[in-house]
Amino acid sequence: MRNLAACLMLLCAAHALAEDTAKDISQKSRERGALNLVGLTAQMKLSTTAKDGKVKDQVLSTSSKKVDGRSRVVTRFEQPAGVAGVAFLTVEGSAGEADDISLYLPKLKRVRKVARQERGRAFMDTDFSYSDIASNGGKDEDFKREADDKVEGRDCFVIKGKGGEDTPYGDVTMWVDKQFYVPMKVDYSDKENKPLKRYRTLKLKSFKDRTVAAESVMENVQTGSKTQMTVLKLDDAPVGDESFTERALERGP
């Protein structure tokens, strides 16, 4: 009986994997991306290395939560002093619409919207763009399944789609871990379909019932720069829905 039950469980699991559509995989992976760990609060270090070897470190905290069915992300910079207090609120777009991104600048003491034409620009002088904060670069419904593959010995789904209108990307190809739905590798081309950037997960980490990317890197193959992201601390998100509003950006943590 035990063997029969085990076989049935394996068959059910295999059937569930077979039914995953490209849209399902994209949605699940987006909520496990480095800057959008839904239900968690993380302190992270961003280390950006320019082509000439100069390194710039920044420390930030980010919290993500589903509010009214849509993922919301609050990101606050803590170090260095020149960027401390800068904060972002990203609200997932509904029905295929672009995400809404708000920026708080403490020197100006006001919140402003990040215009769609600005979202392809570098996020706080890193190799991530504003459109990478809570997105995987394309629309969930536009991805298509490709042949499965392996990355760092891990079985991965492979999905490919077009970059969103508010991104600098042409094609986006993702390798998503089958067990944890963590994006293990993402290749981005520019609008002329020339290689632009590559994201890679370097290290996975277990936290309670979750497995997340503890270390990852975004490399710009056109400029020769790269930004490594390292999770310094990970906690459950204790904040309420009211913390994911523009008013909360102005109040601070």
pLDDT at 186 over 90: yes
More confident residue, 9 or 117: 117
More confident residue, 52 or 140: 52
What integer is the mean pLDDT of 133-138? 74
Q: What per-residue confidence (pLDDT) applies to 33? A: 63
Q: Which residue has the higher pLDDT, 142 or 135?
A: 142
Q: Which pLDDT band, with edges at 50, 70 and 90, does 17 fall under?
A: very low
Rounded Cα distance between 187 and 48, Å, is: 19
Distances (CA, A) of 99 to 6, 93, 114, 138, 175: 43, 4, 10, 11, 23
User: 247 — alpha (psi -120 to 50), left (phi > 0) or beta?
Assistant: alpha
d(CA 214, CA 233): 10
> What is the structure's pLDDT at 238?
64
- Residue 4 pLDDT exceeds 60: no
pLDDT tens digits along 74-130: 999 999 999 999 999 988 877 667 788 999 999 888 999 988 888 888 899 999 988
Mean pLDDT value of segment 140-161 = 94
Which of 244, 40, 33, 48 lies closest to 137, judged by CA? 33
Question: What pLDDT is attached to residue 207?
Answer: 86
pLDDT bin (cut points 50, 70, 90) of residue 11 is very low
pLDDT category at 18 given cuts 50, 70, 90 is low
Model pLDDT for residues 211-249, shown as the tens digit of each residue: 889 999 999 999 999 999 999 998 886 678 888 888 888
Give domain limits for the chain: 22-251
Least confident span in 16-25, 65-74, 199-208: 16-25
Q: Look up residue 138 and give its DSSP letter.
A: B
Homologous superfamily in CATH for domain 22-251: Lipoprotein localisation LolA/LolB/LppX (2.50.20.10)
Q: Percent of the chain scored above 70 by pLDDT?
A: 88
C-alpha closest to that of 138 among 179, 203, 183: 183
Residue 164 structure tokens: 């969103």
Split at pLDDT 50, 70, 90, the class of 55 is very high
**pLDDT of res. 15:** 41
Helix (H) or strand (E) holding 195, with range, is strand 195-207
Do residues 237 and 63 lie in contact, with contact meaning Cβ atoms separated by under 8 Å? yes
Q: Given a cut of 70, is residue 9 above it in pLDDT?
A: no
The residue with greater pLDDT, 35 or 151, is 151
